Amino acid sequence: MNVEVWLTYVVAAIVFSFAPGSGTINSISNGMVYGWRKSLASIVGLQLGMAVHIVLVGVGLGALVAQSTVAFSLIKWIGAVYLIWLGIQKWREQSALSIDSVDKSVTAKRLFQRAVLVNLTNPKTIVFLVALFPQFIDATQPQLPQLLILGGTTLIIDACVMLFYVSLASRFTHYIRSATVMTRLNRIFGSMFIGCGALLALARA
Protein backbone atom coordinates (compact mmCIF):
# COMPACT_ATOMS: atom_id res chain seq x y z
CA MET A 1 0.00 0.00 0.00
CA ASN A 2 1.54 3.28 -1.09
CA VAL A 3 1.58 6.40 1.07
CA GLU A 4 -0.97 8.27 -1.07
CA VAL A 5 -3.58 5.54 -0.69
CA TRP A 6 -2.91 5.27 3.03
CA LEU A 7 -3.23 9.03 3.58
CA THR A 8 -6.53 9.00 1.71
CA TYR A 9 -7.72 6.23 4.00
CA VAL A 10 -6.59 8.21 7.04
CA VAL A 11 -8.89 11.04 5.99
CA ALA A 12 -11.80 8.63 5.45
CA ALA A 13 -11.15 6.95 8.81
CA ILE A 14 -11.14 10.30 10.60
CA VAL A 15 -14.52 11.16 9.07
CA PHE A 16 -15.83 7.72 10.04
CA SER A 17 -14.67 8.09 13.65
CA PHE A 18 -15.84 11.67 14.14
CA ALA A 19 -19.30 11.06 12.68
CA PRO A 20 -21.93 10.76 15.44
CA GLY A 21 -22.82 7.14 16.11
CA SER A 22 -23.27 4.71 18.99
CA GLY A 23 -19.56 4.77 19.88
CA THR A 24 -19.51 8.56 19.82
CA ILE A 25 -22.60 8.80 22.00
CA ASN A 26 -21.10 6.29 24.43
CA SER A 27 -17.88 8.32 24.70
CA ILE A 28 -19.64 11.66 25.07
CA SER A 29 -22.06 10.43 27.73
CA ASN A 30 -19.25 8.77 29.69
CA GLY A 31 -17.13 11.89 29.49
CA MET A 32 -19.96 14.04 30.80
CA VAL A 33 -20.82 11.70 33.68
CA TYR A 34 -17.54 10.08 34.73
CA GLY A 35 -14.81 12.38 33.45
CA TRP A 36 -12.04 11.50 30.99
CA ARG A 37 -9.88 9.35 33.30
CA LYS A 38 -12.55 6.82 34.19
CA SER A 39 -13.85 6.87 30.62
CA LEU A 40 -10.53 5.59 29.25
CA ALA A 41 -11.76 2.06 30.00
CA SER A 42 -14.72 2.56 27.69
CA ILE A 43 -12.46 3.74 24.87
CA VAL A 44 -10.41 0.54 25.16
CA GLY A 45 -13.65 -1.44 25.13
CA LEU A 46 -14.86 0.28 21.97
CA GLN A 47 -11.62 -0.58 20.19
CA LEU A 48 -11.81 -4.22 21.25
CA GLY A 49 -15.32 -4.47 19.87
CA MET A 50 -14.27 -2.81 16.62
CA ALA A 51 -11.21 -5.07 16.36
CA VAL A 52 -13.53 -8.09 16.28
CA HIS A 53 -15.46 -6.54 13.39
CA ILE A 54 -12.22 -5.72 11.57
CA VAL A 55 -11.07 -9.34 11.81
CA LEU A 56 -14.44 -10.60 10.55
CA VAL A 57 -14.44 -8.15 7.64
CA GLY A 58 -10.81 -8.93 6.80
CA VAL A 59 -11.43 -12.68 6.67
CA GLY A 60 -14.54 -12.20 4.55
CA LEU A 61 -12.91 -9.84 2.07
CA GLY A 62 -9.85 -12.05 1.80
CA ALA A 63 -12.03 -15.02 0.92
CA LEU A 64 -13.98 -12.93 -1.58
CA VAL A 65 -10.85 -11.77 -3.39
CA ALA A 66 -9.59 -15.35 -3.56
CA GLN A 67 -12.84 -16.48 -5.20
CA SER A 68 -13.70 -13.62 -7.52
CA THR A 69 -12.09 -10.27 -8.30
CA VAL A 70 -15.26 -9.33 -10.21
CA ALA A 71 -17.37 -9.79 -7.07
CA PHE A 72 -14.81 -7.77 -5.13
CA SER A 73 -15.10 -4.92 -7.65
CA LEU A 74 -18.88 -5.06 -7.33
CA ILE A 75 -18.54 -4.72 -3.55
CA LYS A 76 -16.41 -1.62 -4.09
CA TRP A 77 -19.13 0.01 -6.18
CA ILE A 78 -21.83 -0.93 -3.69
CA GLY A 79 -19.65 0.46 -0.91
CA ALA A 80 -19.28 3.83 -2.64
CA VAL A 81 -23.05 4.05 -3.12
CA TYR A 82 -23.61 3.05 0.52
CA LEU A 83 -21.36 5.87 1.73
CA ILE A 84 -23.46 8.37 -0.22
CA TRP A 85 -26.70 6.87 1.16
CA LEU A 86 -25.28 6.90 4.70
CA GLY A 87 -24.34 10.55 4.27
CA ILE A 88 -27.88 11.44 3.20
CA GLN A 89 -29.33 9.58 6.20
CA LYS A 90 -26.88 11.23 8.59
CA TRP A 91 -27.56 14.68 7.12
CA ARG A 92 -31.29 14.26 7.76
CA GLU A 93 -30.86 12.84 11.26
CA GLN A 94 -31.89 14.94 14.24
CA SER A 95 -30.92 13.88 17.74
CA ALA A 96 -30.22 15.07 21.24
CA LEU A 97 -28.02 13.50 23.88
CA SER A 98 -29.61 12.61 27.20
CA ILE A 99 -27.77 11.33 30.27
CA ASP A 100 -30.57 11.68 32.79
CA SER A 101 -30.93 7.90 33.19
CA VAL A 102 -27.20 7.09 33.34
CA ASP A 103 -26.00 5.20 36.44
CA LYS A 104 -23.19 7.31 37.85
CA SER A 105 -21.86 4.64 40.23
CA VAL A 106 -20.60 2.06 37.72
CA THR A 107 -16.98 0.89 37.78
CA ALA A 108 -14.38 1.32 35.03
CA LYS A 109 -14.61 -2.43 34.38
CA ARG A 110 -18.33 -2.10 33.76
CA LEU A 111 -17.76 0.83 31.41
CA PHE A 112 -15.28 -1.33 29.50
CA GLN A 113 -17.76 -4.20 29.19
CA ARG A 114 -20.55 -1.91 28.06
CA ALA A 115 -18.33 -0.30 25.43
CA VAL A 116 -17.30 -3.68 24.02
CA LEU A 117 -20.98 -4.57 23.62
CA VAL A 118 -21.76 -1.19 22.04
CA ASN A 119 -19.48 -1.93 19.09
CA LEU A 120 -20.04 -5.68 18.96
CA THR A 121 -23.81 -5.26 18.72
CA ASN A 122 -23.72 -2.37 16.26
CA PRO A 123 -24.26 -3.82 12.75
CA LYS A 124 -23.54 -0.44 11.19
CA THR A 125 -19.88 -0.80 12.19
CA ILE A 126 -19.29 -3.98 10.22
CA VAL A 127 -21.39 -2.75 7.27
CA PHE A 128 -19.40 0.47 7.14
CA LEU A 129 -16.11 -1.41 7.24
CA VAL A 130 -17.29 -3.66 4.42
CA ALA A 131 -18.12 -0.54 2.42
CA LEU A 132 -14.89 1.29 3.25
CA PHE A 133 -12.09 -1.30 3.24
CA PRO A 134 -12.48 -2.49 -0.38
CA GLN A 135 -12.04 1.07 -1.66
CA PHE A 136 -8.40 0.97 -0.50
CA ILE A 137 -7.45 -2.67 -1.08
CA ASP A 138 -5.55 -3.71 -4.19
CA ALA A 139 -6.94 -7.12 -5.13
CA THR A 140 -3.75 -7.94 -7.06
CA GLN A 141 -1.53 -7.54 -3.99
CA PRO A 142 -1.26 -9.66 -0.79
CA GLN A 143 -4.34 -9.00 1.32
CA LEU A 144 -3.08 -9.53 4.89
CA PRO A 145 -0.54 -6.66 5.01
CA GLN A 146 -3.11 -4.27 3.56
CA LEU A 147 -5.80 -5.35 6.02
CA LEU A 148 -3.39 -5.05 8.95
CA ILE A 149 -2.49 -1.52 7.91
CA LEU A 150 -6.13 -0.47 7.42
CA GLY A 151 -7.30 -2.17 10.62
CA GLY A 152 -4.49 -0.78 12.76
CA THR A 153 -4.99 2.70 11.33
CA THR A 154 -8.72 2.51 12.04
CA LEU A 155 -8.24 1.50 15.68
CA ILE A 156 -5.59 4.15 16.39
CA ILE A 157 -7.60 6.95 14.80
CA ASP A 158 -10.86 5.89 16.45
CA ALA A 159 -9.19 5.69 19.87
CA CYS A 160 -7.78 9.21 19.45
CA VAL A 161 -11.12 10.60 18.30
CA MET A 162 -13.00 8.94 21.17
CA LEU A 163 -10.46 10.39 23.61
CA PHE A 164 -11.07 13.80 22.07
CA TYR A 165 -14.83 13.40 22.50
CA VAL A 166 -14.47 12.22 26.10
CA SER A 167 -12.19 15.14 26.98
CA LEU A 168 -14.43 17.64 25.22
CA ALA A 169 -17.56 16.26 26.87
CA SER A 170 -16.05 16.44 30.35
CA ARG A 171 -15.50 20.18 29.86
CA PHE A 172 -18.45 21.31 27.74
CA THR A 173 -21.34 19.16 28.93
CA HIS A 174 -24.18 21.62 28.35
CA TYR A 175 -23.05 22.60 24.87
CA ILE A 176 -22.70 19.03 23.61
CA ARG A 177 -26.12 18.01 24.95
CA SER A 178 -27.76 20.55 22.65
CA ALA A 179 -29.97 19.01 19.97
CA THR A 180 -28.97 21.85 17.64
CA VAL A 181 -25.29 21.01 18.00
CA MET A 182 -25.87 17.29 17.39
CA THR A 183 -27.96 18.07 14.30
CA ARG A 184 -25.26 20.32 12.91
CA LEU A 185 -22.63 17.65 13.51
CA ASN A 186 -24.80 15.10 11.71
CA ARG A 187 -25.13 17.40 8.72
CA ILE A 188 -21.43 18.21 8.58
CA PHE A 189 -20.33 14.60 8.63
CA GLY A 190 -23.24 13.51 6.46
CA SER A 191 -21.98 15.90 3.80
CA MET A 192 -18.49 14.47 4.20
CA PHE A 193 -19.77 10.92 3.71
CA ILE A 194 -21.58 11.97 0.56
CA GLY A 195 -18.42 13.65 -0.71
CA CYS A 196 -16.24 10.61 0.05
CA GLY A 197 -18.66 8.24 -1.66
CA ALA A 198 -18.95 10.46 -4.72
CA LEU A 199 -15.18 10.88 -5.07
CA LEU A 200 -14.58 7.15 -4.78
CA ALA A 201 -17.25 6.42 -7.39
CA LEU A 202 -15.95 9.08 -9.80
CA ALA A 203 -12.38 7.84 -9.37
CA ARG A 204 -13.44 4.55 -10.98
CA ALA A 205 -15.80 6.00 -13.56
Task: Please give the average per-residue pLDDT across 147-165, as a whole number.
Answer: 92
Quick one: pLDDT at residue 201? 66
Residue 26 inside a domain? The answer is no
Residue 198 inside a domain? The answer is yes
Which of 88, 80, 85 lies closest to 134, judged by CA? 80
Above 60 in pLDDT, residue 185?
Answer: yes
Above 70 in pLDDT, residue 71?
Answer: no
Task: Please give the average per-residue pLDDT across 143-165, as a whole number.
Answer: 91
* Residue ranges making up the domain that contains 82: 39-93+106-203
Residue 133 inside a domain? The answer is yes
**Phi, psi at 47, each rounded to 5°:** -70, -35
Which of 90, 92, 83 lies closest to 203, judged by CA? 83
Quick one: pLDDT at residue 183? 74
Quick one: pLDDT at residue 84? 78
Above 90 in pLDDT, residue 202?
Answer: no
Task: Please give the average per-residue pLDDT across 1-16, as a whole number.
Answer: 86
CA distance 16 to 132: 9
Above 70 in pLDDT, residue 26?
Answer: yes
CA distance 9 to 2: 11
Q: What is the pLDDT of residues 38-60, one digit of tens each?
A: 889 989 999 998 998 898 888 88
CA distance 179 to 94: 7
For residue 129, the Cα-to-chain-centroid distance in whole angstroms is: 8
Residue 138 inside a domain? The answer is yes
* pLDDT band at residue 150 under the 50/70/90 scheme: very high
Quick one: pLDDT at residue 200? 63
Residue 43 inside a domain? The answer is yes
Residue 100 inside a domain? The answer is no
Q: What is the pLDDT of residues 77-126, one digit of tens each?
A: 776 777 677 678 767 766 655 555 555 567 888 889 888 888 887 767 77
Q: Please count the structural domains in the chain.
A: 1
For residue 14, the Cα-to-chain-centroid distance in whole angstroms is: 8
CA distance 1 to 141: 9
Residue 181 inside a domain? The answer is yes
Above 80 in pLDDT, residue 17?
Answer: yes
Task: Please give the average per-residue pLDDT across 161-179, as a whole number.
Answer: 75
CB 89 within 8 A of CB 17: no
Above 70 in pLDDT, residue 8?
Answer: yes
Task: Please give the average per-residue pLDDT across 145-165, as a whole number.
Answer: 92
CA distance 151 to 36: 25
Residue 13 inside a domain? The answer is no
